[in-house]
């Protein structure tokens, strides 16, 4: 079902009328989304304003990313900072009245409360210039690596700042995110920055990302066909997010094994045909499913590089009215299956070094939800699983992460009562629901070499939802 307010938001006359009359109607801004394989120059032809300090330990890596982004880089700062940028120019007078497609601030040098004022000094005159579907990005160091309590407090302040900024710029379809670069992970910063500055992250906003060297060395290549030669397993691939994910991974060059239950074999076959993949008909809840999946991957592909645990169900009822079978279905399919399948693949050493394991969680698992004690328990369990498994597999360069979708426009949300659906759409900073492609973009990024610095983390694809934020 289409979003009426989003369509109205595309009409400048309707927007002007609502503003003139002072009507309390939500007018979300259409989001600029990516099409086709990922590109290494996400800001090609656009304007990015960068600020920070020349003495920052991250000034050089940030400059390299921005120089390679394809943007017209303008530097807000000293001549010494500007010299870091090969293609940068000074921010011209009156820049606050111009348009910027990205605002990037290197806050990694902040050490005192007084230093924190530099965040205000950079964003205050420029935030009004951030254009539709623009990107605000803050780069910092993690609080737990600070030398003093004051330094830790300043680093932590960046989180609250960025979450709030995301609320403010969301009305124009823009996003704001924070990247904490851990010591020793500077060379892994580029891939995460490119993703967050690109149109691939259209529905990702208001959250921190920890880039670390926890997993063994990996690359940060972000060219088209980044997954060429990789084998990907996608469970629940017959429809919805799973189907779009399978197609998106294939778009990046992966050979995709589309897994779904036997009842949906025909739908899974159609997806496999579209993405040039193959089909495996298995019910993930069956006790023999992990061994069957592992044997199929071993026999047909010799292993697997990317495992996407997307299969899931909802069995919604308040706890007092919930049948035990509804509890078991939600817990076993959403949590038990990913744990058992991953355990089997790892035990048989089928997940290749440098591999990726990506699990679907949900904002319901982060914040809880009425009538979903079973589903929320399972999805919260997924978060615990990726955090625990990430440490166990880090030495092999295998990363383990979760993606937590918020309100995504699917056949399930179309079936919601209209009031519930509208509230779900408007409870995000961007004022609208996401698309299955938004989730697939996050998964395809986490599947790529560029995401080597992220492991044991949860990426929300929720538009900055108030619930679970």
- 243-279 burial code (b ≥16 CB/10 A, e <16): bbbbbbbbbbbbbbbbbbbeebbebbbebbeebebbb
Alpha-carbon gap, residue 419 to 213, rounded angstroms: 45
Alpha helix stretches (DSSP H) within 36-132 = 59-68, 79-82, 117-123
Annotated active-site residue in 85, 122, 180, 375? 375
Active-site annotation holds for 375: yes
Give the sheet arrangement for strand 72-76, strand by strand.
89-90, 72-76, 47-51, 100-106, 130-140, 175-181, 208-211
Which of 376, 375, 338 has its CA nearest to residue 357? Answer: 338
Alpha-carbon gap, residue 218 to 221, rounded angstroms: 9
8-state DSSP, 439: H
Alpha-carbon gap, residue 436 to 252, rounded angstroms: 17
Burial level of 20, CB count in 10 A (0-12/13-18/19+)? exposed
Neighbours of 453 (CB within 10 A): 27
For residues 374 and 428, the answer to whether their CB atoms sit within 8 Å is: no
Alpha-carbon gap, residue 13 to 99, rounded angstroms: 22
The tokens of 142 are what?
A: 């993690």
Alpha-carbon gap, residue 327 to 325, rounded angstroms: 5
The tokens of 66 are what?
A: 């921005």
For residues 289 and 337, the answer to whether their CB atoms sit within 8 Å is: yes
For residues 360 and 303, the answer to whether their CB atoms sit within 8 Å is: no
Alpha-carbon gap, residue 217 to 61, rounded angstroms: 17
Catalytic residues: 375
């Amino acid at each position: 079902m289409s979003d009426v307010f989003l369509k109205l938001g595309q009409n400048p006359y309707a927007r002007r009328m609502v503003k003139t009359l002072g009507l309390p109607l939500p007018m979300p801004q259409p989001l600029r989304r990516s099409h086709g394989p990922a590109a290494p120059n996400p800001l090609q032809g656009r304007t990015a304003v960068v600020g920070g300090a020349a003495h920052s330990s991250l000034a050089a890596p940030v400059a390299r990313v921005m120089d390679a982004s394809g943007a017209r880089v303008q530097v807000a700062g000293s001549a010494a900072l500007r010299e870091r940028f090969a293609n940068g120019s000074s921010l011209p007078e009156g820049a606050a009245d111009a348009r910027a497609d990205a605002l990037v601030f290197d806050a990694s040098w902040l050490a005192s409360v007084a230093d924190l004022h530099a965040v205000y000094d950079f964003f205050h005159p420029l935030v009004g210039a951030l254009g539709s579907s623009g990107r605000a990005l803050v780069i910092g160091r993690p609080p737990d690596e600070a030398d003093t309590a004051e330094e830790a407090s300043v680093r932590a302040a960046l989180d609250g700042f960025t979450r709030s900024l995301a609320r403010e710029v969301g009305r124009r379809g823009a996003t704001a995110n924070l990247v904490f670069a851990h010591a020793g992970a500077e060379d892994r910063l580029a891939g995460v920055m490119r993703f967050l500055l690109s149109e691939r992250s259209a529905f990702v906003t208001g959250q921190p990302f920890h880039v670390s060297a926890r997993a063994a060395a990996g690359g940060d290549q972000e060219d088209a066909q980044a997954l060429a030669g990789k084998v990907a397993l996608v469970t629940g691939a017959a429809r919805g997010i799973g189907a779009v994910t399978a197609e998106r991974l294939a778009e990046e060059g992966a050979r995709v094994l589309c897994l779904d239950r036997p009842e949906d074999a025909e739908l899974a076959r159609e997806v496999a045909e579209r993405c040039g993949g193959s089909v495996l008909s298995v019910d993930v809840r069956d006790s023999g499913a992990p061994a069957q999946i592992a044997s199929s991957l071993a026999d047909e592909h010799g292993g697997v590089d990317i495992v996407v645990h997307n299969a899931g169900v909802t069995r919604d009822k308040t706890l007092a009215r919930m049948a035990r079978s509804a509890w078991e279905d939600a817990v076993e399919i959403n949590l038990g299956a990913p744990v058992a399948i991953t355990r089997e693949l790892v035990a048989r050493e089928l997940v290749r070094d440098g591999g990726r394991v990506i699990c679907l969680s949900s904002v319901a698992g982060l914040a809880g939800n009425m009538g979903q004690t079973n589903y929320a328990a399972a999805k919260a369990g997924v978060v615990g699983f990726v955090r625990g498994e990430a440490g166990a597999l880090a030495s092999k360069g295998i990363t383990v992460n979760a993606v937590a979708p918020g309100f995504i426009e699917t056949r399930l949300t179309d079936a919601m009562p209209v009031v519930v659906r509208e509230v779900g759409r408007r409870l995000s900073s961007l004022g609208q629901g996401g698309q299955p492609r938004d989730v697939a973009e996050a998964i395809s990024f986490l599947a790529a070499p560029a995401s080597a610095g992220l492991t044991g983390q949860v990426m929300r694809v929720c538009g900055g939802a108030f619930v679970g934020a």
